[in-house]
Amino acid sequence: MGKDNRTVIVVGAGIIGAAIAFELQRRGRQVTLLDKGEPGQGTSFGNMASIALDFAAGSGPTTWRRIPRWLLDPEGPVWLRPSYAPKMLPWFLRFVAAGRPSRLKEIEDAGMSLCRRGLDDFRPMLDAIGAPDLMTEEGCLAIYETEAEFAGDRGHIETMLRYGFEHRVLSGGEIQDHEPALSRKVAKAVLLPNNKSIRDPYHLVLKLVEAAKAAGASFVSGEAQGLERKPDGSVSLRLSDGRRLEAHDVVLAAGVPTRTLAETLGEPIPLETERGYHTQIMKPGISMRYSIIWPHRAFMVTQTAGGIRVGGNVELAGLDAAPDYRRPRVLVRHAQRVLPRLKVEDAKDWMGHRPALPDTIPIISPSSRIPGVWYATGHGHLGLTLSATTARLLADMMTGEKPPVDMTPFRINRY
């Protein structure tokens, strides 16, 4: 596409920012991608490599009933550090409010409007950067160790039925026929054929940045500290080292730190970090056909990045607390329970910060206060899944095209 000489700074070189930078550059904008680190080495480095199209709202009566048990279980799927509890209270109250029946239906409709586009947007993006083979064609298995676990996830399965999401319930020997590495103790599984995996999510970010650069984009290392609208209509971005960058538009896609930048503009957003852990095992002793998700334990096992990755769960402890690497070891023990031949050799633990909003759906929106400022943040567990779709929708809005999705639910001033 031809250039229109309109400049854009994209703040954040994770999967969301990299996808946006590539999409805007290919539409003719002159893009500068900014990050305080190297591209793809933040939260996007360690995601679970899953294109998870079966959207599930975080809040709701089922979740409320489980939270007390989760918080009391030292090996449960949610951990809250006591010292951080007072800071979490406002976010948690909004989380509970998002689970009201009327609001829950709105959130599910909005989330599914994005997830339904996932593969249709992702495949063309991979083709455009010359990396179609980065996506596997196998799906995902949701597993249930007992019939009671399967019954407990009935609400999610009913949601899939309501939205026409393709799936198939497996039991008995069918489970091992699909994934021989699984234990026969697994009572039920749900095959999700359209939930694909990425062979190396870090490599995907690098490919997007390389493709954006090849089309004319540039990368600048620096930490955004504040921004303001200038009299000529441009946006000035101030960096922590005193430098200033100017552009017609600025996209804030920096994950959790976007919260601080939004506050400087007078539009605070309830963005928290759901700290997630993984263990990357390079000598697992098994191979897997499908990625595995265990809803009861809230974690995944995926064959990616040259090995097998075990990760997930949520720790609520803020941005600054030191990692607690007991957490991923719990996940590995759970994984070995259902994958009994899984070995843990040549393994490394990792922790990252998912940007989470209390109503589960992201912000993809122009600023409500400063023309020329745009937001793409709060994707929670679905950053990789929604990266191509977010890039498509935001680029549509920025270039004056009508997005194929109602963007009202994703506005920044919805709180």
Looking at residue 70, its pLDDT comes to 77
pLDDT digits (tens, 9 = 90+) for 53-95: 999 888 887 777 777 777 778 788 889 999 999 999 999 999 9
Burial class (CB in 10 A: 0-12, 13-18, 19+), 324: middle
For residue 8, CA distances in Å to 32, 145, 176, 223 come to 6, 49, 50, 16
Residue scoring higher pLDDT (317 or 66): 317
pLDDT averaged over the chain?
95
Which pLDDT tens digit goes with each residue over 4-62? 689 999 999 999 999 999 999 999 999 999 999 999 999 999 999 999 999 988 888 77
> What pLDDT shows up at residue 28?
97
What is the DSSP code string of 42-97?
SGGGGS--B---S---S-SHHHHHHHHHHHH-TTSSEEE-GGGHHHHHHHHHHHHH
Share of the chain above pLDDT 90, in %: 89
pLDDT at 114 over 60: yes
Q: Taking the CA of residue 159 as centre, how many other CA atoms within 13 Å lie in the half-sphere pointing to its CB?
A: 20
Say yes or no to pLDDT of 135 above 80: yes
pLDDT at 2: 54
Tell me the H-state helices in 189-303.
201-214, 258-264
Q: Which residue has the higher pLDDT, 298 or 182?
A: 182
17: closest CA among 225, 219, 314? 219
Q: What is the pLDDT of residues 238-282, one digit of tens each?
A: 999 999 999 999 999 999 999 999 999 999 999 999 999 999 999
> What letter would DSSP give residue 392?
H
The phi and psi torsions of 343 (rounded to 5 degrees) equal: -100, 155
pLDDT confidence of residue 3: 59
Q: What is the mean pLDDT of residues 386-408?
A: 98
Neighbours of 7 (CB within 10 A): 17
For residue range 219-242, list pLDDT tens digits in order.
Answer: 999 999 999 999 999 999 999 999
pLDDT of residue 228: 92
Evaluate whether 378 touches 357 at the Cβ level (below 8 Å): yes
Read off the pLDDT band of 393 (50, 70, 90). very high
**How would residue 218 be classed by pLDDT, with cut points 50, 70 and 90?**
very high
CA geometry: angle 165, 208, 404, nearest 5 deg: 40
At 321-369, the pLDDT tens digits run: 999 999 999 999 999 999 999 999 999 999 999 999 999 999 999 999 9
